[in-house]
Amino acid sequence: MQAIELTGPSLDSLRAVTLPEPQPGPGEVLVRMRAASLNFVDLAAATGRYPVPRFPVIPVADGAGEVAALGAGVTEFHVGERVIPHSKPLWVGGPARAGISGATRGVVLPGSLAEYVVLPATALVRTPAHLTDAAAATLPIAATTAWRGLRLADVRPGSVVVLIGTGGVSVTALLLAKAAGATVIITSSSDEKLERARALGADYTINYRSTPAWDEAVLEMTGGNGADLVVETGGTQTFGRSINAAALGGTVFVIGFVTGMTASADLFAIMKKELRVQGVSTGSVADLRDVVRAVAASRIMPVVDKTFGIDETPQAYAYLAQGGQHFGKIVITHAAR
């Protein structure tokens, strides 16, 4: 089968290879991959910012495809059925556990940039009928992460959600939060992206380049109350402002480190506001199944910014590495361009 391998922690280490086609064992499914989508973790793994136990590895955590063959004992799927493999296939449900929640496809386990991949049947979720494979490939990390934040903060009609930036998680969270009836405030350095966010339902937008104190703007927009949920993607440069923007009893959901991995915070503000500061490592297959059900029920369409062919994988990574260029998700299809 044809595949892409990452042979080291460098964007110059992506190469096309031919590998033996894997075979499913008992309880496993052979999935023919049709599309993959990039996340920041994929870029971090390919640039040495996220530890990869061993090289070479087939990269990219997220993808979608169809069932090609069934291992012994698998009865819940049939050949030809469209499926979404979870990015953490061993984490079926329950809280995160060492050795289970850390086993990520494209980092520890083979990822989505291969014609075929073998996965436990318990790692697969059926693709909603209204989604293409490219759209479905965006869901495992972005939608699962956004869903966990919304659930943790008990987002409902009247809740206020603040989203930092317009990457995959933020845009997916915008769609899910609006489906839940929340008021959404989103930030970006691009007025064009903010206009696109408003078209998707964002209630308020803030250009953090022209308004660096975006946290104060959030407080002003909410009558001094702040946000029930802040999805914190930035890290070093945004964490303190996220604390300030949060409401009494609010949640700061820490999902990224785009501007750095270290940050300082006003501990008194965290205590006085009784904030929940929650880190996240995506979620389980059960979480993915829940959010896919919500996507299907509300007929949510994930936002794909740009699509590359598998022969353009280095260009797709380079586009993500530019930072701030994309709106939503970057997809790689298994057809050459």
Mean of the per-residue pLDDT values of the chain = 95
Summarised one tens digit per residue, pLDDT across range 23-80 is 999 999 999 999 999 999 999 999 998 899 999 999 999 999 999 999 999 999 999 9
Q: Please, are residues 293 and 144 in contact by the beta-carbon 8 Å criterion? A: no
Q: Which of 317, 236, 323 is nearest to 43 (CA)?
A: 317
The reply to whether 259 falls in a domain is yes
Residues 117 and 152 in one domain: no
Tell me the CATH number at 274. 3.40.50.720
The reply to whether 87 falls in a domain is yes
| Confidence band for 166, pLDDT divided at 50, 70 and 90 | very high
Q: Is the peptide bond between 302 and the residue preceding it cis, with omega within 30 degrees of 0?
A: no
User: Does pLDDT of 177 surpass 80?
Assistant: yes
pLDDT at position 9: 95
Residues 100 and 9 in one domain: yes
Percent of the chain residues topping a pLDDT of 90: 87
Give me the domain span that covers residue 130. 2-138+302-333
303-307, long-range: CB within 8 Å, 24+ apart, which pairs?
303/171, 303/172, 303/175, 303/200, 303/327, 303/328, 303/329, 304/37, 304/134, 304/135, 304/138, 304/328, 304/329, 304/330, 304/331, 305/329, 305/330, 306/330, 306/331, 307/134, 307/331, 307/332, 307/333
Helix (H, G, I), strand (E, B) or coil at 54: coil
Residues 233 and 264 in one domain: yes
| Confidence band for 332, pLDDT divided at 50, 70 and 90 | very high
CA distances from residue 191 to 199, 205, 247 in whole angstroms, order as listed = 12, 9, 26
Residues 149 and 133 in one domain: no
Residues 208 and 150 in one domain: yes
Reported as type and span, the H/E element at residue 244 is helix 239-245
| Confidence band for 143, pLDDT divided at 50, 70 and 90 | very high
The reply to whether 152 falls in a domain is yes
User: Does pLDDT of 337 surpass 90?
Assistant: no
User: Does pLDDT of 133 surpass 90?
Assistant: yes
The reply to whether 124 falls in a domain is yes
The reply to whether 289 falls in a domain is no
pLDDT at position 247: 98
pLDDT at position 233: 87
Domain count, the chain: 2
pLDDT at position 315: 97
Least reliable range by pLDDT among 144-153, 236-245, 255-264 = 255-264
Residues 19 and 123 in one domain: yes
The reply to whether 182 falls in a domain is yes
Percent of the chain residues topping a pLDDT of 70: 98
Residues 250 and 316 in one domain: no
Residues 34 and 7 in one domain: yes
- Of residues 92 and 336, the one with the higher pLDDT is 92
| Confidence band for 14, pLDDT divided at 50, 70 and 90 | very high
Question: What torsion do the CA atoms of 124, 129, 134, 136 make, to the nearest 10 degrees?
Answer: -40
Summarised one tens digit per residue, pLDDT across range 259-313 is 667 777 888 889 999 999 998 889 999 999 999 999 999 999 999 999 999 999 9
Residues 190 and 316 in one domain: no
When pLDDT is averaged across residues 4-21 and rounded to a whole number, the result is 96
The reply to whether 288 falls in a domain is no
How many C-beta atoms surround the C-beta of residue 152 within 10 A?
A: 14
Beta bridge partners of 332: 36, 308
User: Does pLDDT of 257 surpass 70?
Assistant: no
Residues 14 and 92 in one domain: yes
Residues 111 and 6 in one domain: yes
User: Does pLDDT of 252 surpass 90?
Assistant: yes
The reply to whether 296 falls in a domain is no
This prediction has a pTM of: 0.94
Residues 148 and 275 in one domain: yes
Tell me the CATH number at 109. 3.90.180.10
